[in-house]
Amino acid sequence: MSDPFFHPVSGFDLPRFAGVPTFMRLPYVPPEHARFGDVEVGLIGVPWDSGTTNRPGPRHGPRQLRDASTMIRAQHPTSGMRPFETVNCADLGDVGPNPADIPDSMERITAFYDKVMGAGIVPLTGGGDHLTSLPVLRSVAKEGPVGMVHFDSHTDLFHSYFGGTMYTHGTPFRRAVEEGLLDPKKVVQIGLRGTMYDTEDRDFAKANGIRLILVEEFHERGVADVMAEAREIAGSGPTYVSYDIDFVDPTFAPGTGTPEVGGPNSYQALQVVRELEGLNIVGADMVEVSPPFDPSGGTAFLGVSIMFELLCVMAGQMKGAGA
């Protein structure tokens, strides 16, 4: 049973439209807080989109995600998991980026996550564009390479953009493999689709043993079969989960910078996370929610619903490990 200090505010006690929004109405526990060391899962905002190459906006994602998350309640509808009563969860606040300097922002992000990892906290991130994952992985994988289950329309495995720019939201996992943060043979990317510049990214994946599951294969085989393979690829070792909201078809998640048609629906978006049960998840993120393209907040609500699904899997894993 978790410490009641870390339980969220109930909608029965304070209306969901009232109060200062934190992720899932959890207590705000920044690194300088006296209870920081008691947190087991930390929800973190990274309001940064300097790696975006076309339509910006994910820098506003964490704020909209937090606001939408006031609708998250205490119990999972099918598993019965009550994550906030299982492990100590808190909103650790935002990493303050430098919007004019990509390298400095990445250093700031990694330094923040070093504090989180040093305290033994498992991070669950709301981004931010997908370049956010790289500085997070630099902290999460500091002790050695991890596997990854990656939900996305795009591989994000390109070498560079615009004649030599190495750090964009299309390159984070190429850098992560090169830096030894990811074990490519334990990486699976699911839902890939859309028109292409060329095959450079897929060629890199093939040469390094990264498993690519295109959306056609995803739809043909179904969620359960695809995710069984994903669990087999990741194995029992430490695994990072990266979830780009553009994995979901834009009919259900229009609020993103690089939408691609033909994707999974919102129910399948939840199903794939439920099928992660049993993995050793050492960190996860939800990225590329872009409020300017969906001011209604529907995309953000789907995003935080997916984050709740991730939290339930992580809490179950930690409970099973005796955390």
Mean of the per-residue pLDDT values for the chain?
A: 97
Is 156 labeled as ligand-binding?
A: yes
The residue-averaged pLDDT of 223-245 equals 98
Residue with tokens 């339509």: 55
Amino acid at the residue 167: Y
The residue-averaged pLDDT of 94-110 equals 97
pLDDT band at 1 (very low <50, low <70, confident <90, very high): confident
Residue 196, C-beta contacts closer than 8 angstroms, at least 6 positions apart: none
The residue-averaged pLDDT of 148-172 equals 97
Tell me yes or no: is domain 32-322 CATH 3.40.50.720: no
pLDDT at 157 over 70: yes
**pLDDT tens track for 118-146:** 999 999 999 999 999 999 999 999 999 99
Measured distance CA(74)–CA(152) in Å, rounded: 28
What pLDDT is recorded for position 322? 57
The residue-averaged pLDDT of 89-98 equals 98
DSSP type of residue 28: B
Is 13 labeled as ligand-binding?
A: no
DSSP 133-202: HHHHHHHHTTTS-EEEEEE-SS----S-BTTTB--STTSHHHHHHHTTSEEEEEEEEEEE-S--S-SHHH
Percent of the chain exceeding pLDDT 90 equals 98
pLDDT band at 320 (very low <50, low <70, confident <90, very high): confident
pLDDT band at 323 (very low <50, low <70, confident <90, very high): very low
| Sign of the Cα pseudo-torsion (264, 149, 312, 19, in order) | negative
The residue-averaged pLDDT of 277-297 equals 98
The residue-averaged pLDDT of 149-154 equals 98
Measured distance CA(8)–CA(11) in Å, rounded: 9
Measured distance CA(97)–CA(75) in Å, rounded: 33
Measured distance CA(268)–CA(275) in Å, rounded: 11
**pLDDT tens track for 38-72:** 999 999 999 999 999 999 999 999 999 999 999 99
Is 154 labeled as ligand-binding?
A: yes
Taking the complete model, does pTM exceed 0.85, yes or no? yes
Is 114 labeled as ligand-binding?
A: no
What is the helix (H) or strand (E) element at residue 95, kind and residue range? Answer: none
The residue-averaged pLDDT of 242-257 equals 98
Report how far Cα 46 is from the mean position of its chain's Cα atoms. Answer: 11
Measured distance CA(138)–CA(145) in Å, rounded: 10
